[in-house]
Structure 1
């Protein structure tokens, strides 16, 4: 019995099946052409890709992917860190704390210890050297000094703070160069007090290998001051080699903003103890340099080595503390001067002389005779070991306090010989008991009489001492070569 397929499409045998299947494909020659064409196209595409992209293994591809993902994370992390730093700098800037320049808690001891000026700060002080503060330094942890306010009547309305240069207070202006900041408990326009406040900066100038300031900022009880005595300003100009800006706080190149906004200093040096803490040798070095620079500035010639002549100068005054009988006083000293070979007496009114005229006058002076007063500050312009004779009106010894000794101190500090004083026992009457301090208002500007016997003996003794010193000493410039001194 024959078996037949139920599917009419099924071939009856294998030959028929193969024939049927082959009808769906092209011939073998045509198939070969198609395959070859496909291979050529794939080869061309592969060559183009290989020219654009270096060959990589699957592991290299994975490494590149990881690197790309890592870089993306790193950039994100750096952005976050930068944002954190900006936020931290902003917080530091906002946290800068300004304190009053004049701390009223120390009003009863304004000049002791830290003083009431910048009371939270400590000074740098080496044995025998000037006391000062400097910013920025290690002690300030790299922070710079900032000031705010320009009040001239109440120092508690002027302020100070320390800030890092990267996080300054808002709207702060940074002033470049060195700024000298002075605190003076007394009057800058008084020659003695102005000189006492300025000379410590000359000590720092020497200590710091002759660095000089770009500007000065002056405070009296924390109140801003914008001027000093012209004599002092010119002496500073001579010492530091050029005009000195001492007229307050100015924003370099800016017209406004300094009144209310903070002003910070690239470098600042602060003095608040005047010459306190300095040894006598250090003070003499400072005055030696100031004397030398002043003589150079004014082209004042130096005397010949071994010159035996004696220059005696009387500094005269009009009005307060002038001589009642100037002719008689001059005659006494002139008589004694004529007894010494080479002695020459001259009279001068310093207030009528320019700074350089005063320098030249004092450069040839061995003995200066003067009533107590600002004009005696000229003694620092004499050669070392010169002599000072000082006279007072009635009442100063009892009522003037320690201020009457300032020129005695200055003589010692500048290397001079203070040869004593004469105090007039006679003066204008006071309406109060003479020990009453109100009498000082009467005696302060009294006129000075004379005592011929005392003046003659005094002059004779001083002239002989000077004559002996000049015979023994050799004039030298102890600071020659220091900070441009010749």
Structure 2
């Protein structure tokens, strides 16, 4: 069976080959047969290639003619064209992959509702897909970029202050940032805290790990802070904490508010350190180093000098509260401690309220305090501003022991972490009566803000014992060091 492409006009063929010798007759017939098999589209394609090559050759010839160097031959042009084509292909491929990566950046909720019942456990809630860098006894943190993040930067999106599940995070490389993303230069500290930054104890617990990281990793100072509470954005911290961080880092913290950036636009950070476990995982030794640093920097900031302090001086400070958890009869309590203080040479009683003192006034007061006497409350956080081995006496209203949980022991903890001596607590056995059984959790709403009475005999004996201990310790320090005062050299100075 003859194929259509083989239907050749034999008369034409005979006329054409009559001018050739017989030895070329067979070759000519085959060539004509092959030409007749090409489709018009194939002919156009071949023609286009020839025209393109001709144009490229002409362009190359024009460029070379303007150069003083000899014109290259055609063979030498082929590798140059091939190299140009290869580079363009590679750049186009890279551009395409970069665009794909920019489009494929995946944002996950900061607040992972799958673990809402385990928010305080492990690594399962805030930025739940990430794990912390942690060496035994050291602070737990995440750093971006880093080896664990595969060199990727951290990006955040969302400004919600009421629901953390509407705020998001993602990781991406610096070359493939999300579209419309803002890159913030420098170091950013990002804090997750399940407490309130306005409360000086809760806020300080969130700041301590940043100071630990700062001290250990070259004393680098942050350009900004980003704060989250239960995954919700927070726009500020308390004044006391602002002053303390300002003293520690030599400049007031800049709390990032993302002003001028739309809520649906991402913000990426050139370098970021994330803390989400507060002081968890840090050894007592590391915590004491951090509190030493903050104490030293606060005293320098406030121009407080410990030089020339009389070694026989004993400072006893009653740090009072007003309202909830205050003493019912302040004057009676002051009289008890004043009377006992007067029995020791060099003892001086000071009475103060934290709310009417500036930060530096509190630093100055604590530097003069050897025994801090105060009801349970945030004002006790100031204890770390005293010298190491100073003493703390704490007071509670009725009902706290059974119902308050472990939170009632936070000032035992900070005393240990900062090198102080917690001398125990007095718990008022008297107070308002609850209509439920006293061990019923509903009674805590009544007892939480209760006021504190006094026991003259107990307070007198307790004060006398603590004063005797302080007096003995100061005499021992004087005999060993020639001074009862202890000074520390500031790290990151």
Q: TM-score range by the shorter chain?
A: 0.7 to 0.9
Cα offsets for 1:152-201 (capped at 9, x unmatched): 11111110010000001111100001000000011111111100001100
Q: Is the 2:326–2:452 contact (alpha carbons within 8 Å) kept by the matching residues of 1?
A: yes
Shift of 1:432: 2.3
1:245 and 1:263 map into 2 onto residues whose CA distance is 16
Task: Tell me the residue number matched to 2:91.
Answer: 82
Partner of 1:324, secondary structure, is coil
Moved more, 122-131 or 431-440: 431-440
Shift of 1:145: 0.1
Say what the alpha-carbon RMSD is for the aligned residues. Answer: 1.5
Shift of 1:360: 0.6
Among candidates 159, 167, 176, match of residue 158 of structure 1: 167
Shift of 1:66: 2.2
Shift of 1:209: 1.1
Alignment of 1:11-26 (within 5 A): none
CA 1:53 to 1:355, structure 2 compared with 1: closer, same or farther past 3 Å?
A: closer
Task: Tell me the residue number matched to 1:135.
Answer: 144
Task: Tell me the residue number matched to 1:277.
Answer: 281
Task: Tell me the residue number matched to 1:16.
Answer: none
Among candidates 386, 407, 411, match of residue 382 of structure 1: 386
2:335 and 2:88 map into 1 onto residues whose CA distance is 89
Q: Is the 1:183–1:221 contact (alpha carbons within 8 Å) kept by the matching residues of 2?
A: yes
Does residue 299 (structure 1) correspond to residue 303 (structure 2)? The answer is yes
2:295 and 2:446 map into 1 onto residues whose CA distance is 36
2:296 and 2:360 map into 1 onto residues whose CA distance is 13
Does residue 416 (structure 1) correspond to residue 420 (structure 2)? The answer is yes
Cα offsets for 1:429-456 (capped at 9, x unmatched): 2232222212111111111111111111
Among candidates 91, 95, 99, match of residue 100 of structure 2: 91
Does residue 256 (structure 1) correspond to residue 261 (structure 2)? The answer is yes
Task: Tell me the residue number matched to 2:474.
Answer: 470
2:138 and 2:290 map into 1 onto residues whose CA distance is 11
Unpaired runs of 5+ in structure 1?
A: 1-51, 56-60
CA 1:306 to 1:325, structure 2 compared with 1: closer, same or farther past 3 Å?
A: closer
1:344 and 1:115 map into 2 onto residues whose CA distance is 51
Moved more, 302-311 or 391-400: 302-311
Q: Is the 1:310–1:344 contact (alpha carbons within 8 Å) kept by the matching residues of 2?
A: yes
Shift of 1:248: 2.7
Cα offsets for 1:377-423 (capped at 9, x unmatched): 01011011100000000011111111100011010001100000000
| Number of matched pairs | 421
1:64 and 1:128 map into 2 onto residues whose CA distance is 72
Partner of 2:392, secondary structure, is strand
Alignment of 1:171-186 (within 5 A): 171-186=180-195
Cα offsets for 1:84-112 (capped at 9, x unmatched): 00000001111111110011111111111
Partner of 2:324, secondary structure, is coil
Which one has a bigger Cα radius of gyration? 1
Task: Tell me the residue number matched to 1:201.
Answer: 210
Does residue 235 (structure 1) correspond to residue 244 (structure 2)? The answer is yes
Does residue 354 (structure 1) correspond to residue 364 (structure 2)? The answer is no
Q: Is the 2:196–2:202 contact (alpha carbons within 8 Å) kept by the matching residues of 1?
A: yes
Q: Is the 1:180–1:217 contact (alpha carbons within 8 Å) kept by the matching residues of 2?
A: yes
1:481 and 1:300 map into 2 onto residues whose CA distance is 13
Shift of 1:64: 4.0
Give the structure-1-normalised TM-score.
0.84
Q: Is the 1:218–1:248 contact (alpha carbons within 8 Å) kept by the matching residues of 2?
A: no
Among candidates 425, 439, 451, match of residue 435 of structure 1: 439
Q: Is the 2:306–2:487 contact (alpha carbons within 8 Å) kept by the matching residues of 1?
A: no
2:73 and 2:341 map into 1 onto residues whose CA distance is 102
Q: Is the 1:102–1:156 contact (alpha carbons within 8 Å) kept by the matching residues of 2?
A: yes
Task: Tell me the residue number matched to 1:170.
Answer: 179
1:337 and 1:389 map into 2 onto residues whose CA distance is 14
1:419 and 1:117 map into 2 onto residues whose CA distance is 37
Shift of 1:322: 1.2
1:340 and 1:306 map into 2 onto residues whose CA distance is 14
Task: Tell me the residue number matched to 1:116.
Answer: 125
CA 1:410 to 1:384, structure 2 compared with 1: closer, same or farther past 3 Å?
A: same
Cα offsets for 1:190-216 (capped at 9, x unmatched): 111100001100000001110010110
1:449 and 1:483 map into 2 onto residues whose CA distance is 45
Q: Is the 1:217–1:249 contact (alpha carbons within 8 Å) kept by the matching residues of 2?
A: no
Cα offsets for 1:460-483 (capped at 9, x unmatched): 1111111122222344434x1410
Unpaired runs of 5+ in structure 2?
A: 1-66
Shift of 1:151: 0.6
Give the structure-2-normalised TM-score.
0.83
Q: Is the 2:293–2:490 contact (alpha carbons within 8 Å) kept by the matching residues of 1?
A: no
Shift of 1:249: 3.0
Does residue 107 (structure 1) correspond to residue 111 (structure 2)? The answer is no
Shift of 1:263: 0.3
1:397 and 1:332 map into 2 onto residues whose CA distance is 25
Q: Is the 1:306–1:471 contact (alpha carbons within 8 Å) kept by the matching residues of 2?
A: no
Partner of 1:156, secondary structure, is helix
Partner of 2:148, secondary structure, is helix
Partner of 1:139, secondary structure, is coil
Task: Tell me the residue number matched to 1:324.
Answer: 328
